[in-house]
A and B are shown apart, each in its own frame.
Chain A
Amino acid sequence: MLFEGIGTHWRIDTPQTLPLSVEARIQAAVAEFDYMWSRFRQDSLVTALGREGGTIPVGHDGEAMLRLYSRLYTATDGAVNPLVGAALEHLGYDASYRLTPLPGAPAPVPTWEGIFQGTTALLTVRRGTVLDVGAVGKGRLVDLVADILVRAGQKAFTVDAGGDMRHLGPGPDGDAPLRVALEHPFDTSRAVGVVGLRDAAIAASATNRRAWAEGLHHVIDARTGRPVGDVVATWAVARTAMLADAASTAAFFLPPEQVLTALDGVHAVVVMPARGPLRSAGLPGPADAQGADVRPAPLAYGEVFA
């Protein structure tokens, strides 16, 4: 199944063609998610909330994502914060894709403390707040699609949303894990490593994608309101796609080992700094530790070419 959703290409691989009813459910879930959470739509919930201000219940997805954001916010000492939307818009990454920074410095990113009440799943924001769930949103949607597939009885699949993916079941060659290349951020024909993926998810983040001018890209340090500069790309393997997505963002601000410590369920993290060799933690991964990857291959599980 191939389709476009939330600004990226999706590809779902299953042993047999999916029933149309399952495809329809997936399409509906993707559309619904976009309608709730996209700051690029005038008619989305987060756009309306930012325009009006107020308190809303955020639903299951919102609760899962915003709870994780609270963990990220604490772990990164405030660097990861879903309220960076206004700073991104100031820098040019807005709904109209202006891609030209406004003059002057953006207003400081508001603190995340007290914004989301985890116990009641209520989100309270002031008028003008631009919520950006970019650090976890795509991963959450990959997990939602995976849940639809599981509920529909699918035992083996790969959900690939433009390079962030979740896998279940045996790999294409039977018991071997899915072999996933870590794409070189500066040369899409090359890889900086390869990992074996089974019953897990991987996410990638790079600052030269979704970059619109020198030094301007989508990974913002909420403490400064400016894009980060020390790391050019990250990858993370985790139990769920949302966790992998979150870990790949956290890895811009924390050493790989600390990302593993801060987020339960993250198996491995690989970081490409602006200078110096690759750094990683958690490789070889759980599959290797259990002796699961016994396939004779030129590359061992979770190798990085540093």
Chain B
Amino acid sequence: MTLAARRAVTVAASLAAVGALAACGTGEATDAVENGSASESATASPTPSDQASESTSEDASEGASADGSTGGTYADGTYSATGSYVSPGGPESIEVTLTLTSDVVSAVEVVSNAENPNSVRYQGEFVDGIADVVVGVALDDLEVDKVAGSSLTSGGFNEAVETIKGEAGA
């Protein structure tokens, strides 16, 4: 599978993960991936975890590689997936649609199906922001020595946040 194709699926999986985290939900997720124009379909089950995104990649790869005649690993077309999770207010879902052109993501659309008022608010902010968010380039594709970011923040703060998420999801 090409990097671009894997990137597309990874974006979908991480969107589901962000949606679930934003609503403090737990990680039960069920997704369906459909390849619109190429009439191929596959199912995947991303959850907000690394293992899940791996299984997503594999499943989606099977669905798309059956029609690998466009030069890339993925056929051009529109792929959508629905992620569901359990928020404190009950089950909610969020739908992510990606448009692939020559193995590059050319559009991202996110639709919230939330009914719970809290989830509507969280997902609403997420949905509003996502189309404008810069997609960036996978670090695997870049030859770099270092990464400048804040993700290595450690210590009690992160532990406390995890505790709160755990309590909110319980």
A interface, CB within 8 angstroms of B: 4, 7-9, 40, 97, 99, 158, 160, 162-165, 171-172, 178-192, 194-195, 197, 202-206, 209-212, 214, 233, 235, 272, 274-278, 297-299, 305-306
Residue in A7, A9, A158 whose beta carbon sits within 8 Å of that of B146 in the complex: A158
A163 touches B152 (CB 8 A): yes
Contacts of A306 in B (CB 8 A): 134
- A194 and B141 CA atoms in complex are apart in Å by 12
New A-B pairs, 13, CB < 8 Å, besides A171-B145, A209-B149: A4-B155, A7-B156, A97-B157, A99-B164, A184-B134, A184-B136, A186-B133, A190-B136, A190-B138, A203-B148, A209-B150, A272-B134, A276-B132
Contacts of A297 in B (CB 8 A): 143
B154 touches A99 (CB 8 A): no
Instruction: Give chain B interface residues in 129-145, CB to chain A under 8 Å.
Output: 129, 132-140, 142-145
Give the contact-size bracket for chain B.
35 or more
> Are A191 and B134 CB-contacts (below 8 A) given A99-B164, A158-B146, A180-B148?
no
A162 touches B154 (CB 8 A): yes
- A243 and B158 CA atoms in complex are apart in Å by 26
Contacts of B135 in A (CB 8 A): 190, 305
- A-B pairs, top 5 by smallest CB distance, nearest first, are A183-B149, A209-B150, A97-B160, A162-B152, A7-B155
> Are A298 and B122 CB-contacts (below 8 A) given A163-B150, A209-B153, A274-B129?
no
A180 touches B22 (CB 8 A): no
Contacts of A158 in B (CB 8 A): 145-146
- A203 and B148 CA atoms in complex are apart in Å by 7
B146 touches A191 (CB 8 A): no
Chain A min CB distance to B115 (Å):
18
Tell me the interface secondary structure of chain A in the complex: strand
Instruction: Give chain B interface residues in 12-31, CB to chain A under 8 Å.
Output: 14, 18, 22
Contacts of B58 in A (CB 8 A): none
Chain B min CB distance to A283 (Å):
14
* CB closest residue in chain B, given A100: B164
B154 touches A8 (CB 8 A): yes
Chain B min CB distance to A97 (Å):
4
Q: Name, among B135, B157, B160, the residue most crowded by chain A CB atoms within 10 Å (CB to CB).
A: B157
- A209 and B151 CA atoms in complex are apart in Å by 7
B152 touches A178 (CB 8 A): no
* CB closest residue in chain B, given A206: B150
